[in-house]
Amino acid sequence: MIVDCAHYKDGHRTAEGQVPLEETATRLAAGGFVWLGLFEPDEEELAQVSETFGLHELAVEDALILHRHPKIASYDPDVQLVIVRTARYYDDEEEVDFGEISVFVAPTFVITVRQGVATDLAGVRQRLEQRPELLAAGSMSVLWAVLDAVVDGYAPVVLEVERDVDDIEATVFSGSIAPTERIYSLRGEATGFYRAVHPLLAVITTVERTAPPDLQPYLRDVHDHLIRVDEGIADQRELLRQVLEANMAVISVEQTRVSVQQNRTMQQLTILATIFLPLTFITGFFGQNFGWLVDHVKSFPAFLIFGVGGLVVPLVALIMWMRLRMPHVDTRTAAGQAAGAGRH
C-alpha cells in the first residue's frame, strides 16, 4: 500500500498532494528527488514500483522478507538498500515485537518499505519537511531521518526491559525465588533486541562514510545514541545472566533447607520407630490370652514385674546396645528428639 509519494526540490515539497506513481519520472526530470512510502506492499505492487524506478530484482526480494539483523547492500552502482529493525515492548507479556524498514536510497529517489511493527514514518516525513536545510542535502537526508527515528524508538524499549530486570533482580537478591522461566524469557527478549541493535552500528558507520558533509554530524549523533542503547542492552543481558545464576543459588539453598528438614524429620521418625518396635513386641506378646499368663498375673506386684518390668528391660537393653554400637550418638539427644517429634 502506498502511504505517500512526494517530490522534493531545494529542500521543499513541490506539491501538497500525493504524486501518482506514473508521474514520478516527469517530476524527476525537473531535479530533486522522490520519496515513496510503502506499508506492507504485496509482490504485485512492489513489482510495479521496481519497474518504475528500475530496482534490482534481488533488492526487491530482500525487501519482501523479514530479517534477523540489520544490513546494508548495494545492488546497483547508485542504489543502496538499508534494512533496519524496529522494536516495540509489550510490558504485560514482557516481549519485544520487531518490525522492519527497508530503505532504497538513490540520488534521485528514496523508497521506504515498512513491514510489521514499525516507526510511524508519517511523523518522520513531517519533521523532515520542517527542516529544509536538511532536505536540501538530498535523498540521504531521508535515510538519516529514518535511522534517527528508529534509534529513538529503541530508548523506550531499553527502559521497559531495564524496569523488568530491576524487578527480577530485587526479588532474587531479597532472598526470594523468582520464576526461572521469566528470567530465561526476558533474557531471550534482550538477546533478540541485541541482535537488532548491535549490527546497526556497522550499518550507520557505512552510511556515515558515504553521506554528504552536511549530514555527517547528524549521523554521528545517531551513532552516539545507538552506542548508548547497545551498551544498555548488553549490560542488561549480563545482569540477567548474573540474576539467573543468583536465582539458581537461591533455589539450591532452599532445596538444601528442605532436604535438611526432611532428614531431621526422618531421623526423628527412625528414633521413634526404634524405641517403639521392642515395646510393641512386648505389649503384643503379653496381650495374648494364654492360660499361664492369665493364671499367674493376678496381683499388683506381678503386674509390675511382668508388665512394667517387661517394658523397662527392653528399653534398658536398647539404650545399652545403642551406646555399644553407636558411641557417637547421644541417647539423651535421641530421647529429646523423640520427645520433640511426639509433640509435633
Q: Kindly list the domain boundaries of the chain, sorted by start residue.
A: 2-251, 288-343
pLDDT of residue 292 exceeding 70? no
Q: Among 169-178, 249-258, 265-274, 327-336, which stretch is predicted with the lowest mean pLDDT?
A: 327-336
Question: Higher-confidence residue: 174 or 171?
Answer: 171
pTM above 0.85, yes or no: no
Please give the pLDDT value at position 335. 47
Please give the pLDDT value at position 150. 94
Question: Higher-confidence residue: 257 or 194?
Answer: 194
Please give the pLDDT value at position 280. 74
Share of the chain above pLDDT 90, in %: 33
Residue 43 pLDDT level (bands cut at 50, 70, 90): confident
Task: Check: CB of residue 24 under 8 Å from CB of residue 7.
Answer: yes
Task: Check: CB of residue 114 under 8 Å from CB of residue 40.
Answer: yes
Fold designation for 2-251: Beta Polymerase; domain 2 (3.30.460)
Mean pLDDT, residues 250-275: 76
Mapping DSSP onto H, E and C, the string for 34-86 reads EEEEEECCCHHHHHHHHHHHCCCHHHHHHHHCCCCCCEEEEEECCEEEEEEEE
Residue 2 pLDDT level (bands cut at 50, 70, 90): confident
**Cell numbers linked to 36:** 515513496
**One-character DSSP codes across 253-298:** HHHHHHHHHHHHHHHHHHHHHHHHHHHHHHHHHHTS--HHHHHH--
CA distance 145 to 130: 12
Residues 49-65 pLDDT 10s = 888 888 888 888 888 88
Name the average pLDDT for the chain: 82
Question: Higher-confidence residue: 95 or 308?
Answer: 95
Helices and strands in the chain: count of H runs, count of E runs: 12, 7
Please give the pLDDT value at position 122. 82
pLDDT of residue 9 exceeding 70? yes
